[in-house]
Amino acid sequence: MNGQWLEGAGILTVITTTVYFIVLSWRKWCHPIVDSGRELYTPWRLSEGAVLYRDVDDVYGPLSQYFNAVLFKLFGPGMMVLAVANLVIFAGILGLAYLLFRRAWGAVGALGASVVFVTFFAFCPLLDINIFNYALPYSHEATHGMLVTLGLIWAVGRWVEVPGLGWGGVAGGLVGLALVLKPEFIFAAAVLVVTAVILRRRQWPQRGGMSVLVFAVAALVPTAVFTCYFMRYFPPIEALSAAGRAWWSLLLMPDILATPYQVSSAGWDHPVENFIQHIRKTALVVGVLGGIGSWVALGLRMRGFRRAIMLMVAVAAALGAGILADWSANGKSLLGLVLIYLCFAWFRWRRSARWATREQVATQQWRLLLAVVASAMMARMILNGRIVQFGFFQAVLAAMVVTAVICAEAAEWMPNVKERRLSVVLAVAGLLLPGLVWAGMRAREYYGWQTLAVADARDRFYHFEPEIEASGQLMNDVLGVLRELPRETTLLALPEGSMVNYLARLRSPLPQFQYYSFTTEAGREKGIVDALRLRPPDRVVVISRFGLGDFGIVRYGERDGAGRQIIQWVNQNYRITHRFGGDPLATDQRGAYILSRIRD
């Protein structure tokens, strides 16, 4: 009964922490320009009859955009419609993650992992741009994909435990959903399924033929459904390409992965240096955790007052390590830690059949499956592991696995005395407490600065005052002009302005959602200018998009592939009617132009 009460108190703590971060961040989950507009403009256009990959483009699979389009169709367009839906999805993610980690590491491991998830990954603004969260992320495939992946882990785990068609079909269907989402989830699903087949064949060597067939058929269903839908608008091969855009785009435009931004994001820009840094960080964390754990183990071998002193020193050392840690820069050790644990878990699983009960074997399998997916999810940042930016979904399972291991499983390695679990939990609490406090304070300070209301009604969100960051005020200024235009007016927003199109409810004549990087490189910019000649927009907005330096652009329009041909065409055919702030083409200034077409 005491254990149930303690677990209930822990769950209440997780819920309270979640509410705290949601309240702090309420309506502050997106950016006026960067990476947020596509996730609103695209479903709005689809809800009005546009076709994905024809009228509006995307680099990921069709599932998330059409799911959000259905929400807009049912409830009307509105930023808060998607935010509320994603918060419901987040509740499912958190609940499912808790059940999975509880099955693998018990209540203590699940609670520790859940607190780390909510505090560092869900809503905490670890960067100066808060588009990496579970309410309005830069890509809604991230939230949808996390729910699908966790559901797949559960289905695959049950499929390994219980031979039969049911769980095989569920697992296949979830793999099929991953295939129409995002490459990271496709890779993780593939690695997970291979691992599950290995586990299953050892446990049930004479069964599973029909189950595998059901799995395969179910996995094809989502792609088949979308292919049939797109065949209404495209030839069969193009329809299949559209349905499989989550992976097919990498074949159509392989230079997407070769852009400087993607190369540096994965750490391949300085591979040797980054690899050595990962090794050093991993060795440092292993040393700290090993030292604290050894001290706890030594203390548990003592008795009375000496044991208490030793454990107090261990907790103090853990607290000191937590205080000295740079929590915002953590993450480079995560992949190394998970891979080390994965090797250990694999070895332990292989030996478990000789000495363990069926329940213990099942526990080892769940741990192994979670560790496999955690490592697979970090593949895209293999030499640049981080909890910031894409780490909010790519590194979260790795962080949760590491937390669960040191919270719960580490006690299994300690001397078998009554106080071992409490001792480990206290040491872990000392280690994590400074980070949890830091994250709470960081969120409170960051969100406290966001007081400027942008847009209105269900699209209202809050951004920084212009003296801190001018994008929000620029958006309000631009919207004040554009909202006076007729709804049939077409608008081109440069270099990235889907949010302008969405908030003004003015469609773009072109399908692209940005006009730099892979959409304009490799000669593609000329195709965009040719399309503009055929479908010239009524208005053009040029509004500052900070961070273009990450894509090798110092000034937008400086060269071919970086907007020069587009800007030249605009200057020849349009005149500036409104100016706000500085030069929007310069990456070190903040400003906006509104241009009107010159009529012959």
How is 533-544 classified by DSSP, letter by letter?
A: HHS--SEEEEE-
Model pLDDT, residue 252: 61
- Tell me, rounded to whole angstroms, the distance of Cα 413 from its chain centroid: 33
Q: Which residues, in sequence order, are CB contacts of 355 under 8 Å at separation 6+?
A: none
C-beta atoms surrounding 522 within 10 Å: 12
Distance in angstroms (rounded) separating the CA atoms of residues 199 and 590: 56
Model pLDDT, residue 330: 75
231-263: burial string, b at 16+ Cβ within 10 Å, e else: eeebeeeebbbbbbbbbebeeebeebeebebbe
CA 340, 154, 113, 300: dihedral to nearest 10 degrees?
-60
Distance in angstroms (rounded) separating the CA atoms of residues 560 and 539: 23
Cα 222-224-226 angle, rounded to 5 deg: 70
Contact call for residues 505 and 482 (beta carbons, < 8 A): no
Q: Which residues, in sequence order, are CB contacts of 206 under 8 Å at separation 6+?
A: none
User: Is 494 inside a domain boundary?
Assistant: yes
Which CA distances in Å does 290 have to 63, 317, 403, 414? 44, 12, 14, 12
Which CA distances in Å does 489 have to 43, 500, 566, 596? 19, 13, 20, 11
Contact call for residues 43 and 69 (beta carbons, < 8 A): yes
Identity at 195, one-letter amino acid code = T
- Tell me, rounded to whole angstroms, the distance of Cα 236 from its chain centroid: 32
The one-digit pLDDT tens for each residue of the chain (600 residues) are: 567 888 999 999 999 999 999 999 999 999 999 999 999 999 999 999 999 999 999 989 999 999 999 999 999 999 999 999 999 999 999 999 999 999 999 999 999 999 999 999 999 999 888 899 999 999 999 999 999 999 999 999 998 887 777 888 999 999 999 999 999 999 999 999 999 988 877 665 555 567 778 888 999 999 999 999 999 999 999 999 999 998 876 666 666 666 777 888 888 888 999 999 999 999 999 999 999 999 988 988 888 888 889 989 999 999 999 999 888 777 899 999 999 999 998 888 887 666 667 788 889 999 999 999 999 999 999 999 999 999 999 999 999 999 999 999 988 888 888 888 888 889 999 999 999 999 999 999 999 999 999 999 999 999 999 999 999 999 999 999 999 999 999 999 999 989 999 999 999 999 999 999 889 988 999 999 999 999 999 999 999 998 898 888 999 999 999 999 999 999 999 999 999 999 999 988 999 999 999 975
User: Is 227 inside a domain boundary?
Assistant: no
User: Is 170 inside a domain boundary?
Assistant: no
Query: Which residue, among 557, 599, 591, 559, has the nearest Cα to 575 in the 3D structure?
Result: 599
User: Is 519 inside a domain boundary?
Assistant: yes
Give the H/E segment covering residue 432: helix 420-448
**Lookup result for tokens 């996390």:** 146
540 phi/psi in degrees, rounded to 5: -130, 135
Query: Which residue, among 59, 230, 210, 217, has the nearest Cα to 138 in the 3D structure?
Result: 59
- Tell me, rounded to whole angstroms, the distance of Cα 474 from its chain centroid: 28
Cα 185-186-188 angle, rounded to 5 deg: 60
Distance in angstroms (rounded) separating the CA atoms of residues 367 and 341: 10
Contact call for residues 142 and 392 (beta carbons, < 8 A): yes
In 346-489, DSSP assigns E strands to 450-454, 461-464
User: Is 582 inside a domain boundary?
Assistant: yes
Model pLDDT, residue 354: 66
Q: Is the peptide bond before 584 cis (omega within 30 degrees of 0)?
A: no
pTM for the full predicted model:
0.95
How many domains, the chain? 1
What SS3 state is found at 416?
A: coil
In 61-160, DSSP assigns E strands to none
- According to DSSP, residue 597 is labeled E
Q: Give the gyration radius of the chain's Cα atoms.
A: 26
What SS3 state is found at 197?
A: helix
116-146: burial string, b at 16+ Cβ within 10 Å, e else: bbbbbbbbbbbeebbbbbbbbbbbbbbbbbb
User: Is 214 inside a domain boundary?
Assistant: no
- According to DSSP, residue 122 is labeled I
281-317: burial string, b at 16+ Cβ within 10 Å, e else: bbeebeebbeebbebbbebbeeeeeebeebbeebbeb
Residue 80's DSSP bridge partners are none
- Residue 534's domain comprises 470-597
The token pair that represents 27 in the structure block: 């309506």
Model pLDDT, residue 144: 98
Contact call for residues 428 and 406 (beta carbons, < 8 A): yes
Distance in angstroms (rounded) separating the CA atoms of residues 208 and 119: 41
- Write the Ramachandran bin of 508: left for phi over 0, alpha for psi from -120 to 50, otherwise beta: beta
Model pLDDT, residue 472: 96
Contact call for residues 35 and 131 (beta carbons, < 8 A): yes
Model pLDDT, residue 430: 93
C-beta atoms surrounding 559 within 10 Å: 13
Contact call for residues 540 and 492 (beta carbons, < 8 A): yes
Model pLDDT, residue 255: 64
Distance in angstroms (rounded) separating the CA atoms of residues 29 and 36: 9
Distance in angstroms (rounded) separating the CA atoms of residues 462 and 338: 38
Query: Which residue, among 334, 281, 285, 290, has the nearest Cα to 314 in the 3D structure?
Result: 290
C-beta atoms surrounding 195 within 10 Å: 21
User: Is 574 inside a domain boundary?
Assistant: yes
CB-side exposure of 129: number of CA atoms within 13 Å?
18
Contact call for residues 253 and 188 (beta carbons, < 8 A): no
588: buried, middle or exposed (CB in 10 Å: 19+, 13-18, 0-12)? exposed
Sign of the Cα torsion 551, 394, 497, 517 reads positive
User: Is 428 inside a domain boundary?
Assistant: no
